[in-house]
Amino acid sequence: MSRPDPTNTHCPYCALQCAMSLAGDDVSELEVKGRDFPTNNGGMCQKGWTSAAVLSTPDRITSPLIKDADGELRSASWGAALDLVAAQIRVTQEKYGEDSVAVFGGGGLTNEKAYALGKFARTVLRTPNIDYNGRFCMASAAAAVNRSLGIDRGLPFPLTDLGGAQAILLLGSNVAETMPPSLRHFAGARERGGLVVVDPRRSATAALTEDGAGMHLQPVPGTDLVVLLALLHIVWAENLADRDYLSDRTSGAGDVRRSVATWWPERAEQVCGIAADELRQVARALAAASASRGGTGAYILTGRGVEQSTQGTATVTAAINLALALGLPGRQGSGYGAITGQGNGQGGREHGQKSDQLPGYRKIDDPLARAHVAKVWGVDPASIPGPGKPAVQLLQDLGTSGGPKILMVHGSNLAVSAPNAGNVIDRLRSLDMLVVCDFVPSETALLADVVLPVTQWAEEEGTMTSLEGRVIRRRKALDPPEGVRSELEVLAELAARLAPSVSFDTDPSVVFDELARASAGGPADYSGLSHERLDSEPVSGYYWPVPRPDHPGTPRLFQDGFPTTDGKARMVAVDHVGPNEDLRADAPIYLLTGRVLSHYQSGAQTRRISELNRAEPAPYVEMHPLLAIRLGVDDGDAVRLTTSRGSIEAVARWNDKIRPDSVFMPFHWGGSGSVNQITNDATDPISGMPEFKVCAVDVQCLAKVSR
Ligand SMILES: Nc1nc2c(c(=O)[nH]1)N[C@H]1C(S)=C(S)[C@@H](COP(=O)(O)OP(=O)(O)OC[C@H]3O[C@@H](n4cnc5c(=O)[nH]c(N)nc54)[C@H](O)[C@@H]3O)O[C@H]1N2
Ligand SMILES: Nc1nc2c(c(=O)[nH]1)N[C@H]1C(S)=C(S)[C@@H](COP(=O)(O)OP(=O)(O)OC[C@H]3O[C@@H](n4cnc5c(=O)[nH]c(N)nc54)[C@H](O)[C@@H]3O)O[C@H]1N2
Ligand code: SF4
Ligand SMILES: [Mo]
């Protein structure tokens, strides 16, 4: 089949899903161009520009690999590899039961693959044990938004709406490095002096508040909840709340008001370190921007900095409470949103690879949902397993007595990206069989017993759902290398061997049609969409829900009410407990983690691109000169970082933009500089989100830089 040249598609990495075109059919000479689209307006970041290089990376895996008796991964035929996986699954399930096989998915998978993976776990393996890396990413925001607003679509409004805002409160997000082309949508708030960034570092995003563009609040790490409780206190104390909105559109305001009564700003200042007057200034600016007070609108947005916490759900809940008190959600030009991270982080949490979900964002313990989905799958509803364990608990159980003995990994590099990764690596090694689908030998693939090589973004058709809930087309621009198969084919082949009565299609547009039927009537309803309809739309895709083929999609949610039992948003009182780990004599410094512009996630893809590798070749740790001098560490010295999980090494980088009580490390590398070897795997009791962002660390100088 001849394909259009150039091919219009989207970047393989983050949830902004910048539109791009790919010209040419020789993989080593593909020309990547930014394409006009409402979110990126033709712009891309350096990861997008260089993304085609991973297609032809010299160490691309192009044949299945099986570990031999000496522990070496050796090439094998597809037939041998799939037969081995199927046989081992059969033997293990006969011996230990169906839940002895577990599946770990990813928010980078297309909607079609995420759907097929969830269906495979429930119908072929019949195991409850499936979860995915979105648990590390969007789980706290999802839990809070579902509870308070009744539905979880990261941004319940188009990204371009931000442009008209008078004020934006951005908590724990560094969009200047994590989604650079999105900055244009923050320009309006900056011009109006209304961008407020909350981050313990003066990140590239926090620096955008300089020169009168807004304010940067630099709290004690892990105390954002206190900042929000104080802002809520001020809103009520100074009579800034939108009373009509509260009585018409919310329930629970009285409880929340009472719960923040003791968080007067001077008390909050003692905990979070932000001056009481600054807190007042922020509350007043947000209120003045709200439509009820004649402003042009205000937004409150959260990112991983506040969500990846053992009190992540509570913190997002407080952010939503503040938005509700100011009357923002559901009003045009205002709102609350969580900034989704992975390419298909949104769609990935809608189609059933999360332990408690069925397609269409349905709940797996809802009898009606089970009946509907069972019918689409052609199985007995009673055969669909119940909810499984969330990711961190699932990983901790691997290989233990009673825990899973086989793990299949699809789209995650757990050995680098999971919290307390040293323990995760031990758990992976203790399995009877680890199966990894990937296209590069990631740190996790290198631990596998069987590696199955799969297609990459530009070699496959599919759909992705962006951070705004916009369903867009990923298009095939060239054929995959010989020896590589799509994930849909891998799952279909295994299903044919293990449960031939369940049908698994390999054509993405047919899988999409089935997904659309399975989602019909659910919160994330895609039933009005098909590849054909998406292809006939020249530019922009459709925002879900799209419940009928003639439905135009839903760019803005909540305009006429909230999808809760009484149509009102629920305000839920929450309180501050603090991070799971306190500073102590042998770990007196906060360790913060996050991202840099040039690398993506575990780095499995971006560390293979020379231009990006040159930009940031090795693990480093940012520390304030005041802290560094106290510890006797020069810029460039090697330091050892120790937490109760273990020790790692990295190069110190002096930086006066971080608080002197904290150090910051990106998590993009494996091995001895992998910060997740020492992060805390304590989890939020509601969302299961691990405490990635803040733990207690000791820092010591290892070797002086030679000058
Ligand atoms: N370059 C790049 N871009 C990416 C990705 C990538 O790996 N690289 N990944 C994508 C994905 S999956 C995601 S989830 C997003 C994440 O996007 P962001 O949430 O923007 O990224 P992070 O760097 O993880 O965290 C943001 C900020 O949280 C701050 N932080 C740390 N502790 C605290 C705290 O206690 N309170 C507050 N308020 N802030 C704190 C850090 O200093 C950091 O600047 O990025 C997406 N885009
Ligand atoms: N300390 C710390 N740790 C963190 C975070 C943090 O802020 N701090 N952030 C967390 C967050 S938000 C996230 S999202 C996770 C992400 O971390 P990971 O889950 O490790 O995500 P990636 O590095 O994107 O890994 C994706 C892997 O799948 C492969 N892959 C890509 N596309 C496909 C596909 O279609 N099919 C298959 N089978 N494989 C594919 C890639 O080659 C790569 O090896 O990290 C989390 N870890
Ligand atoms: S911002 Fe995200 S989607 Fe856009 S080019 Fe960069 S990585 Fe790709
Ligand atoms: Mo993420």
* Mutation probe of ligand 3 site: the residue of 16, 22, 36 with most atoms within 8 A of C-beta: 16
Q: Which ligand is nearest to the CA of 599?
A: 1
Residue-wise pLDDT for 396-431, tens only, equals 999 999 999 999 999 999 999 999 999 999 999 999
Q: Which atom of ligand 1 lies closest to the CA of 45?
A: 1
Pocket of ligand 3 (CB under 6 A): 11, 13-14, 16-18, 40, 44-45, 47-48, 179-181
Name the band, by pLDDT with cuts 50, 70 and 90, for residue 540: confident
Q: Which residues contact 444 (CB under 8 A, 6 or more apart)?
A: 409, 412, 413, 414, 415, 416, 428, 436, 438
- CA 338, CA 344: separation in Å to the nearest integer? 14
**Ligand 1 contacts CB of residue 579 (under 6 A):** no
Q: Which ligand is nearest to the CA of 608?
A: 2
Nearest CA to ligand 2 atom 21: 412
Cα–Cα distances in Å, from 612 out to 208, 456, 601? 24, 19, 13
Give 36 Cα–ligand 3 centroid separation in angstroms: 14
- CA 309, CA 327: separation in Å to the nearest integer? 27
Structural domains in the chain? 7-56 (2.20.25.90), 65-137+345-543 (3.40.50.740), 139-339 (3.40.228.10), 589-703 (2.40.40.20)
Residue-wise pLDDT for 206-250, tens only, equals 999 999 999 999 999 999 999 999 999 999 999 999 999 999 999
Give the residue among 390, 399, 392 at the shortest CA–CA distance from 426: 399
Give 500 Cα–ligand 1 centroid separation in angstroms: 43
Beta strands in 42-187 (DSSP E): 65-67, 73-75, 101-105, 130-132, 167-171
Return the pLDDT at 157: 98
- CA 500, CA 493: separation in Å to the nearest integer? 9
What is the average per-residue pLDDT within 36-62?
97
Return the pLDDT at 539: 66
* Mutation probe of ligand 2 site: the residue of 117, 179, 438, 598 with most atoms within 8 A of C-beta: 438
Which two three-digit tokens encode residue 156? Answer: 């319940």
Answer for the pair 374, 380: CB distance below 8 angstroms, yes or no: yes
Over 206-246, what HEC string results?
A: HHHHCCCCEEEECCCCCCHHHHHHHHHHHHHHCCCCCHHHH
Q: Which ligand is nearest to the CA of 578?
A: 1
Taking the alpha carbons at both ends of the chain, their separation in whole angstroms is 60
* Mutation probe of ligand 3 site: the residue of 47, 339, 596, 599 with most atoms within 8 A of C-beta: 47
Question: Is the pTM here over 0.85, yes or no?
Answer: yes
Q: How many CA atoms lie within 13 A of 105 on its CB side?
A: 35
Q: Which ligand is nearest to the CA of 305?
A: 1
Give 152 Cα–ligand 2 centroid separation in angstroms: 21
Give 72 Cα–ligand 2 centroid separation in angstroms: 25
Name the band, by pLDDT with cuts 50, 70 and 90, for residue 3: confident
Residue-wise pLDDT for 324-357, tens only, equals 999 999 999 999 999 999 999 999 999 999 999 9
Give the residue among 135, 90, 76, 177 at the shortest CA–CA distance from 483: 76
Q: Which helix (H) or strand (E) holds 358?
A: strand 357-358
Q: Which residue has the tokens 């198969």?
A: 485
Answer for the pair 326, 282: CB distance below 8 angstroms, yes or no: no
* Mutation probe of ligand 2 site: the residue of 178, 424, 601 with most atoms within 8 A of C-beta: 601
**Ligand 1 contacts CB of residue 175 (under 6 A):** yes
For the chain, the 3-state helix, strand and coil shares in percent, each to the nearest 5, are 35, 20, 45
Return the pLDDT at 538: 65
Return the pLDDT at 158: 98
* Mutation probe of ligand 1 site: the residue of 14, 45, 591 with most atoms within 8 A of C-beta: 14
Answer for the pair 127, 385: CB distance below 8 angstroms, yes or no: yes
Give 445 Cα–ligand 1 centroid separation in angstroms: 25
**Ligand 1 contacts CB of residue 448 (under 6 A):** no
Give 180 Cα–ligand 3 centroid separation in angstroms: 7
* Mutation probe of ligand 1 site: the residue of 595, 598, 662 with most atoms within 8 A of C-beta: 595
The maximal CA–CA distance of the chain, rounded, in angstroms, is 72
Residue-wise pLDDT for 103-158, tens only, equals 999 999 999 999 999 999 999 999 999 999 999 999 999 999 999 999 999 999 99
Q: Which residue has the tokens 């991973």?
A: 54
Return the pLDDT at 703: 83
Cα–Cα distances in Å, from 669 out to 100, 108, 379? 31, 19, 43
Return the pLDDT at 25: 80
Q: Which atom of ligand 1 lies closest to the CA of 173?
A: 20
Q: Which helix (H) or strand (E) holds 9?
A: strand 7-10
Give 136 Cα–ligand 4 centroid separation in angstroms: 7
> String of b and e for 164-197 (b: at least 16 CB within 10 Å)?
bbbbbbbbbbbbbbbbbbbebbbebbbebbbbbb
What is the average per-residue pLDDT within 172-184?
98
Give 405 Cα–ligand 4 centroid separation in angstroms: 27
Give 173 Cα–ligand 4 centroid separation in angstroms: 11
Q: Which amino acid is at 501?
A: S
Q: Which ligand is nearest to the CA of 692?
A: 2
- DSSP result, 19-50: EEEEE-S-GGGPEEEE---TTTTT---HHHHT
What is the average per-residue pLDDT within 250-273?
98
Long-range pairs for 368-373 at CB < 8 Å and ≥24 separation?
369/522, 372/518, 372/520, 372/521, 372/522, 373/518
* Mutation probe of ligand 1 site: the residue of 47, 132, 174, 694 with most atoms within 8 A of C-beta: 174
Task: Report the number of secondary-structure helices (H) and strands (E) in the chain.
Answer: 22, 30
Give 129 Cα–ligand 3 centroid separation in angstroms: 32
Count the residues in the chain. Answer: 707
What is the average per-residue pLDDT within 656-674?
98
- What's the mean per-residue pLDDT of the chain? 97
Cα–Cα distances in Å, from 6 out to 31, 47, 49, 418? 9, 20, 15, 38
**Ligand 1 contacts CB of residue 601 (under 6 A):** yes
Check pLDDT > 80 for residue 537: no
Pocket of ligand 2 (CB under 6 A): 106-109, 133, 136-137, 304, 308, 341-342, 410-413, 416-417, 437-440, 442, 454, 487, 593-594, 601-602, 604-605, 667, 675-676, 679, 692
Q: Which residue has the tokens 């597809």?
A: 78
- CA 364, CA 384: separation in Å to the nearest integer? 9
Residue-wise pLDDT for 635-649, tens only, equals 999 999 999 999 999
Q: Which atom of ligand 1 lies closest to the CA of 595?
A: 23
Give the residue among 109, 113, 155 at the shortest CA–CA distance from 16: 155
**Ligand 1 contacts CB of residue 134 (under 6 A):** no
Specify the 3-state DSSP secondary structure of 642: strand
Give the residue among 75, 5, 289 at the shortest CA–CA distance from 167: 289
Give 267 Cα–ligand 4 centroid separation in angstroms: 33
Residue-wise pLDDT for 563-584, tens only, equals 999 999 999 999 999 999 999 9
**Ligand 1 contacts CB of residue 341 (under 6 A):** yes
Q: Which atom of ligand 2 lies closest to the CA of 417?
A: 47
Check pLDDT > 80 for residue 65: yes
Nearest CA to ligand 3 atom 1: 179
Give the residue among 55, 48, 53, 15 at the shortest CA–CA distance from 34: 48
Nearest CA to ligand 1 atom 10: 341
Name the band, by pLDDT with cuts 50, 70 and 90, for residue 700: very high
What is the average per-residue pLDDT within 603-607?
97
Which two three-digit tokens encode residue 384? Answer: 């669909």
Check pLDDT > 60 for residue 1: no
Q: Which atom of ligand 1 lies closest to the CA of 593?
A: 31
Between 302 and 704, the higher pLDDT residue: 302
